[in-house]
């Protein structure tokens, strides 16, 4: 599932300017199938088993912990990449944000829904299931609508427009450990666009959900823990996945994600220095996975994020801003994505 972690965080930092503070994996068998495997409940260790980090995934490798195998029959879950396979992923997000500056309500800051369309293609697959994937951002823009501040819309549109046509590549194991993400950014890219591209990089890393090494069945649960940096901000997140439906080719899952960050210096999208005093978020969502596709067939999530920032205004006065963001995200892939894409 495309997890709604990096997206809200990057989007919230982008809006920091608009609101303002002034007034891997061991080689698998060549044929990777979701084979049905019977596992006796008596053989499952009572303590959660922590799977070692996959070497291919590098320093940002997630840690996967099996919490429960679920009900039999159990299946080994693996993504089954095929050379030449293509997919188009359309993501739409809508959000609302409330801000308080120095204890005074600034009211809501309505922002337009935004949409990104990204194309993926499998360029090669080795016998272990490790795939080389290329991608291109085909479209990125606010979705038209009335009632939004024109300057905010223009800022978001300019930032998102800069990534249209941006492409890159990465390698991913059959358990979705991602490595070697390369994004080609234009030279002399301004800070706001650099941040947007960094958000894109984090999104690519999380297009697919890391899978447990152990077989699972309906009710199976596993946790994915990840620490990463976003625009210099250190972030921790944990996602817990639970299988609701499972067959040899697909699964329906529920995911709950929590995210936090310690007090630390940060930089806004316009290069403004500030201090992050606190950050916490929770996301709840669902997804449908088809194991031989490059992205979730469909997904949706709702996120609530709280963020407090201290910054110095142009006149040297210290200010404190608290922001609360509610965000809804939907993802569709393949033919459904093309049908959902708004007309220009």
Q: Does the CA dihedral 241-223-178-94 come out positive or negative?
A: positive
d(CA 261, CA 274): 14
Predicted local distance difference test score (pLDDT) of residue 231: 66
Residue 98 burial class via C-beta count within 10 angstroms: exposed 0-12, middle 13-18, buried 19 and up? middle
Within 10 angstroms of residue 25's Cβ, the number of other Cβ atoms is 26
At 88-132, the pLDDT tens digits run: 999 999 988 888 999 888 867 678 899 999 999 999 999 999 999
With both helix axes pointing from N to C terminus, report the angle between 6-19 and 191-205 in degrees, rounded to the nearest 10: 160
β-partners of residue 142 are 114
Closest by CA position to 223, among listed 213, 236, 212, 234? 212
> With contact defined as beta carbons under 8 Å apart, do 195 and 203 qualify?
no
Residues 6+ apart with CB under 8 A from 44: 69
Would residue 1 count as lying in a domain? no
* 293 vs 287: CA distance, rounded Å: 13
pLDDT category, 34, cuts 50, 70, 90? very low
Q: Is the pLDDT of residue 17 over 70?
A: no
Q: What is the pLDDT of residues 255-284, one digit of tens each?
A: 999 999 999 998 765 667 889 999 999 999
pLDDT band at 33 (very low <50, low <70, confident <90, very high): very low
Three-state secondary structure call for residue 341:
coil
**Cα Rg of the chain (Å, integer):** 21
Report if residue 51 sits inside a domain: yes
Q: Would you call 43 helix, strand, or coil by DSSP?
A: helix
Three-state SS for 77-144 is CCCCCCCCCEEEEEEEEEEEEEEEECCEEEEECCEEEEEEEEEEEEEEECCCCCEEEEEEEEEEEECC
| Confidence (pLDDT) at 213 | 97
For residue 231, being part of any structural domain is answered with yes
User: Could you give the CA distance from residue 111 to residue 153 in angstroms, rounded to a whole number?
Assistant: 7
Residue the block writes with tokens 């910054």: 311
Tokens of 175: 């358990």
328: CB partners within 8 A, 6+ apart: 93, 94, 95, 300, 301, 302, 303
More confident residue, 225 or 208: 225
Q: Name the burial class of residue 42, with classes exposed (0-12), middle (13-18) and buried (19+) by CB atoms within 10 angstroms of its CB.
A: exposed
User: Does residue 262 form part of some domain?
Assistant: yes
Range of the domain at 23: 6-340
61 in any annotated domain: yes
Q: What is the DSSP string of 48-81?
A: PEEEPPPGGG-TT--EEEEEE--SSSEE------
Q: What is the pTM of this model?
A: 0.78
Give the number of domains in the chain: 1
**Eight-state DSSP code of residue 164:** T
**Which pLDDT belongs to residue 187?**
67
Residue 168 inside a domain? The answer is: yes
> Which tokens in the block code for residue 16?
């920091």
User: SS3 of 228, please?
Assistant: strand
């Amino acid at each position: 599932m495309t997890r709604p972690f990096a997206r809200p965080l990057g989007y919230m930092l982008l809006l920091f300017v608009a609101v303002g503070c002034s007034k891997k994996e061991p080689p698998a068998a060549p044929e990777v199938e979701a084979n049905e495997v019977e596992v006796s409940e008596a053989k499952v260790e009572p303590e959660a088993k922590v799977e070692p980090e996959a070497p291919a995934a590098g320093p940002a490798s997630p840690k996967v912990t099996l919490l429960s195998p679920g009900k039999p029959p159990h299946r080994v879950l693996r993504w089954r990449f095929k050379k030449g396979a293509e997919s188009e992923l359309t993501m739409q997000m809508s959000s609302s944000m409330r801000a308080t500056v120095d204890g005074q309500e600034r009211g809501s800051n309505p922002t337009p829904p935004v949409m990104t369309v990204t194309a993926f293609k499998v360029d090669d697959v080795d016998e272990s299931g490790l795939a080389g994937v290329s991608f291109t951002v085909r479209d990125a823009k606010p979705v038209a609508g009335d009632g939004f501040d024109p300057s905010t819309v223009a800022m978001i549109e300019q930032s998102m427009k800069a990534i249209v046509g941006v492409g890159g590549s990465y390698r991913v194991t059959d358990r979705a450990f991602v490595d070697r993400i390369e994004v080609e950014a234009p030279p002399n890219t301004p800070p706001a666009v650099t941040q947007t591209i960094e958000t894109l990089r984090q999104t690519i890393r999380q297009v697919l959900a890391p899978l447990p090494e152990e077989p699972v069945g309906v009710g199976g649960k596993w946790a994915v823990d990840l620490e990463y940096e976003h625009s210099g901000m250190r972030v921790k997140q944990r996602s817990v996945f639970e299988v609701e439906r499972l067959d040899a080719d697909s699964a329906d899952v529920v995911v709950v994600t929590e995210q936090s960050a310690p007090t630390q210096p940060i930089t806004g999208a316009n290069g403004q220095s500030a201090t992050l005093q606190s950050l916490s978020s929770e996301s709840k969502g669902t997804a449908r996975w088809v194991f031989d596709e490059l992205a979730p067939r469909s997904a949706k999530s709702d996120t609530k994020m709280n963020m407090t920032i201290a910054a110095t205004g142009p006149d040297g006065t210290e200010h404190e801003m608290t922001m609360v963001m509610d965000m809804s995200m939907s993802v569709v892939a393949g033919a459904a994505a093309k049908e959902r894409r708004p007309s220009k």
